[in-house]
Structure 1
Amino acid sequence: MRDYAKAMLLFAVSSVVMLAGVCGGRAQTIDPNSAPNPYQVVEHWANLPEGRVWGQAIGVDIDRDGTSLWVFDRCAAKTCAGSNVAPIQKFDAAGHLVASFGSGMFEWPHGLFAAADGTVWVTDGKKQIVVQFAPDGRVLRTLGKPGIAGAGPDEFNSPSDVVVAPNGDIFVADGHGDFPVPKTNDRIVKYSSDGKFIKAWGHHGSGQGEFDVPHGLAMDSAGRLFVADRANNRIQIFDQDGKFLAEWKQFGRPSGVYIRDDIIYVTDSQSNEKVNPPFRQGIRIGSVKDGKVTAFISAPDAGTEMPEGVAADKDGNVFGGFTQQTDVKKYVRD
């Protein structure tokens, strides 16, 4: 009897320990802000030309060299309308400006993608165009009808971002919600490498394959397309034919998404106590293989706005493009 009582006591104790472990695991799982932050911020890392200041720096990406940073900002302001400032700038690893172009071409800069062939792609959410540039600033291709919004195969309505697959196929996140133009599209549009329309998928909604502000795009090594479906507080994952594969909500309310070596970087620039709680703003970092968030670059103070655009160089340095703060910050590991 004594042995039986002892065995029951051990079982009870072990059960409590196991339950505590399970509950602790759940607590960590449901707390989306608990991942460690192994980064420190580097302020004013870029050497801007005299008299030039950052505008809303919405688009950032790493050049094919793995270290240089391309930035697409709103002409040292909140818009490029009426400005002669060049909104596309390239900085080397030391923060020195090495190229700038695009003056007088844009109204509301948004997405930027640096392709493997050295070309640079950008979107304008008000001019309704996607433009491909050579590294020296020559225009190589324009998709869309400048100034004309639409939902046809050769039209956009507030395109947010663009990404190019290894085979050259072009994917455009078309539709920024009701800003800066009303009743925009909520779809992904696919073109061949020579700019011919292949297909489009998605419409406004919250179901699988539906969108509410498709704000950013990225592609992993398996060719899966990751869409920052911002107003739905999720990332949707598709194959390149538009087949829905998965949705992830653990990265918050995503404004930007970037993938390098199958590490995913997601910016949350909108979550707060009223919007998508309990998530807080910041950059969540994880793996595309399991979707686990392993690091979280959080805001230094509650209420501080975090970036919309994000990129990471081959050395693991992270760059954030800020719109409200009008800045580009660099984050390095401690």
Structure 2
Amino acid sequence: MTRAGREPVTAGHLGMWLAVTFGLCMITGLISHGIQHPPGWFHWPSRPVNLYRVTQGVHVISGIAAIPLLAAKLWSVAPKLFERPVVRSLPHLLERLSLLVLVTSASFELLTGLFNIAQNYPWNFYFPQVHFAVGWIAVGSLLLHAAVKIPVFRRALGEPREPAAQRGPGRLVSRRGFLGVTALSVGTAVTVTAGMTVPWLREVAVLGTRSRLGAQGLPVNRTAAAAGVLDSAQDTGWRLEVRGPRGVRTFSLPELESFTQFTAELPIACVEGWSQQAVWSGVRLADVLRAVGAPADAQVRVSSLEAAGPYSSSVVAPTHAADPLTLLALRLGGEPLHPDHGFPCRLIAPNRPGVMQTKWLRRVEVL
């Protein structure tokens, strides 16, 4: 008798579950990448306001769910990895190569993803680009592996359930028991982390790296001190420069406050998977753009006092720039912005990643 978890039918079921979690993770990851690095054909709407919060939450949660599934899958097929002869035919060679690439790339994606959630980067490469590229390698090798193994999957999944009387004296758990333990592991991993995104699970998210509240009751990824803008952000001479068809205008904080103020309840949803709702107040971006003669369909770049870094500026698409919920926020929860949340002025727009909600604004320009 084979050991528990190492029957072909078990490997088949685990393969299906892995395909689902990896599929969800890849699709939502492509969405996030497309928003941050949009190709010409890509369009991301400003409504519903919580859409990115959901897609990125699914991305991180499905990736976490895949970790115990991958471990169980490797256990189930471990003996086959050391079979001899190493290569028996061309299809067998393709299957072995695709499996090697799949295991390596999938493990890399899950491991680096976990480090990214914790904002810990013990490497020299730029995480988003490498994570994106290796994700395609993982998906390609998964499709190749699945294509080669389709006949095996079909035979395995068609096997009858194992009667308890046939388990043998060396079997501590049944096939169903092994799959049950795997499912419990997946459920536990998801439960203790999903609270970063799912509010009603926040109290049990013991491994949620951003579940604790920061300044003004909202988590902070990058502080003003870490960005090197603490002094310039608190400088009384600060002005927001706005460039448009009618030229350049500058606005002090009191001048921005003289605009009609609006309030919007919007989430901050970050690529690391955490998100939280907050109440923001400020001037509508569209109102400031009209002051410099910008057209209704203007595309805008906002730039931060933070001079360097990949997220020191971001482009606001026309759909978002014209949305009445897109604010140059001056207040959070009814109080002036804390420096760590972007004082004196920051962008807050519906349905955008947190890294694109640029803080410590110094310039707004119509492109």
Q: Which TM-score bucket, shorter chain as reference?
A: under 0.3
| Structure exhibiting the larger radius of gyration computed from Cα positions | 2
In terms of fraction of residues, the more helix-rich structure is 2
Higher RCO, Cα 8 Å, sep 6+? 2
In terms of fraction of residues, the more strand-rich structure is 1
